[in-house]
Chains A and B, each alone.
Chain A
Amino acid sequence: MNLDSFYARGLVEYAESLDMLPILYEVASGILDGLGGTERGRGTDALIRFMRAVPRGNRRSVLKKFAALTRGKLGIIDVEVTAPRPLSPEQLSALSEGIGRALKKKPVVSVKLDDSLIGGIRVIAGNRMTDYSIRQKIFRLKQDIREKVVSK
């Protein structure tokens, strides 16, 4: 485990001890997204106090790791959906709802376009990937045929 991870875990414990984990997560996410985090408040003050102990060059990496650790604890899951064509808002919301229901978590869905998938979609939710794409099916078929031919 490297130093940044130690600090990130320390920050999680610190936030939990203050009962401010969701607030600190929001502040950290704002800073990482470049959207804010400079407005003074209890959360910002607490985060600044902790960050003073972290070497300047490591602060961004610690925040990233903290955000990643906290997402799991807060039941937030990043979902990456890859499709060959853009999805309609209705499709996207149905997908998000379905994933949230299946995983019992709050999904944050991002969409990527990749026409090499040919058809279908590929969903990566946290560490789990489910591939419904045509490319994957062709790949599986190719493997099956190769194995059969070789064993013959």
Chain B
Amino acid sequence: MNSGLHDISSLIKNEVLGFIASPEASEVGRVMQVGDGIVHAIGLDNVMSGELVRFDDDVMGIAMNLSFDGVSIVLLSGMKGVKEGGLVHRTGRIAEVPVGDALLGRVVNAIGEPLDRKGPVGTGKSRPIERIAPGVLARQTVNVPLLTGIKAIDSMIPIGRGQRQLIIGDRQTGKTAIAIDTIINQKDKNVKCVYVAIGQKMSTVADAVKTLTDRGALGYTVVVAASAAEPVTMQYLSPYSGAAMGEEWMQNGGDVLIVYDDLSKHAVAYRTMSLLLRRPPGREAYPGDVFYLHSRLLERAGRLNAENGGGSITALPIIETQAGDMSAYIPTNVISITDGQIYLETEAFNSGIRPAINPGLSVSRVGSSAQVKAMKKVAAPIRMELAQYRELASFAQFSSDLDDETKSRLRHGERIVETLKQDQFSPFRLEDEILVLYATVKKYLNDVNVEKILSFENGLVEYFMNNYGGLMEDAASKGLEPELEEKIVRGIEQYKQFVREENLF
């Protein structure tokens, strides 16, 4: 027998020998009605709202509606073992999930049970799923960047640690891709990640897990999955569970990134649950507290001040729109709760602009204060120039005879658009982002063929790495000081000269 098995068998033996069989007393009620994952019970006079209750066969539920007539309970699993007249026991505790570093690299369900066949999650610690968000005095402003590695986002819509940045767009516009890329980019940046998959196909979740594993990102990530096949209760709970897991690290001074993929499905799950609980429906049949559903979740993100450990939770909620309608109920709710949004367009996606970000409708309300100086300087004109380009381009398509100034602006705009394109799973380092954007904004790329821009960029980055090691790191940390800027310009010109001589592009 190996030592592990021996340990376990001796542990069991000790437990059996030391077991004191005291009678168990609990408050019980009777099941009156069961159906659609909802149980109506009577007799649980002292049960609390949100309290965990236990049925026979170890089926668990959460008390939701308390009334004079009894209690409505939502089940956390199937209805097997729950029957009319059966007993329901109070547990005296609210729903909790395991928390701690043992969760990293794991795929768990909404109540922290493993889904990945890697054995039990032995964290030894747990936290309540629902928790009031930190107050004003415990927080500080967002001033440390959370880099996504995506040029378009880090330059135009920067995200800070502790920010809530919405990713919104129609289906198949690359919302999840941005979130996954952001997680991948946190490697070696001391940021722990939580990816919450709500109401998705299990195959989609499996893809995401595989991607994270292949890119070496699962080691600092926990995946909380409540698939479309699971009861709506689990889908409803999953983002709160993810937040509870993240809070453990935040309270200990760590930085956490949480992706909620997606809150549209979460709202739909909550609507289903509320209607089954016979709560009055409101607009689009959502219950009256659907705003509070998301506001209390996203308020749990933020940056704590130094007295409270200085940890942070950055939240990236995702919302799926229907036919680009941002003015629907749930999108407007979440837009008003978050600190900005990244708006993705189907048209841009289909025309090859990926990430398909609409810079006009995307905004970051707090992230710019978290941007490093050099990036702030480089990125400042991009948004304006893009807007001008889009306006000019829409006019220019009807005109054949354009003046030189217009042609030059169009040429420059095309190159900015091209520069901001980026392949999936290929995050840029901050230093490389600054270099590439600098070259673009300062019009060093205007004489490069549009189709060759991406290859030119990659070559430029490599050239700087080989010939100007440390220069861009200095620029990123100190800002674009005149002497550094001079060196960067010299480097770019040398590379262009090299490209011309070698006839590379």
Contacts and interface: CB of A to CB of B under 8 A. Distances in A.
Interface string B7-21: 110011001100101
Interface stretch (A24-32, A37-45, A103-111, A129-137): A129-137
Interface string A99-141: 0000000000000000000000000101111111000110011
Contact of A130 (B25, B67, B87): B25
A148 B69 contact: no
Contact of A128 (B8, B28, B122): B28
Contacts of A151: 122, 124
A35 interface: no
Interface size on B, as a range, is: 20 to 34
Contacts of A128: 25-28
A136 B28 CA distance: 15
A137 B23 CA distance: 8
A149 interface: yes
B23 A152 contact: no
A126 B25 CA distance: 13
A149 B44 CA distance: 33
A53 interface: no
B45 A136 contact: no
Nearest to B27: A127
A90 interface: no
A145 B120 CA distance: 13
Contacts, number: 66
Contact of B19 (A124, A136, A141): A141
B68 A5 contact: yes
Given A1-B68, A127-B27, A152 B11 contact: yes
Contacts of B87: 124, 129
B25 A127 contact: no
B44 A127 contact: yes
Contact of B23 (A5, A127, A130, A149): A130
Nearest to B7: A152
A145 B21 CA distance: 14
A152 B121 CA distance: 10
B120 A150 contact: yes
B258 to A, nearest CB: 25
A104 B89 CA distance: 24
Contacts of A130: 23-25
B28 A124 contact: yes
A144 interface: yes
A136 B56 CA distance: 11
B465 to A, nearest CB: 47
Nearest to A149: B8
A145 B122 contact: no
A129 B26 contact: yes
B310 interface: no
A148 B15 contact: yes
B331 interface: no
A131 B121 CA distance: 30
A48 to B, nearest CB: 25
B115 to A, nearest CB: 16
Top 3 A-B pairs, shortest CB-CB distance: A1-B68, A150-B120, A129-B28
Interface of A: 1-2, 5, 124, 126-132, 136-137, 140-141, 144-145, 148-152
Given A1-B67, A128-B28, 9 more contacts: A127-B45, A128-B25, A130-B24, A131-B23, A141-B19, A144-B15, A145-B15, A149-B11, A152-B8
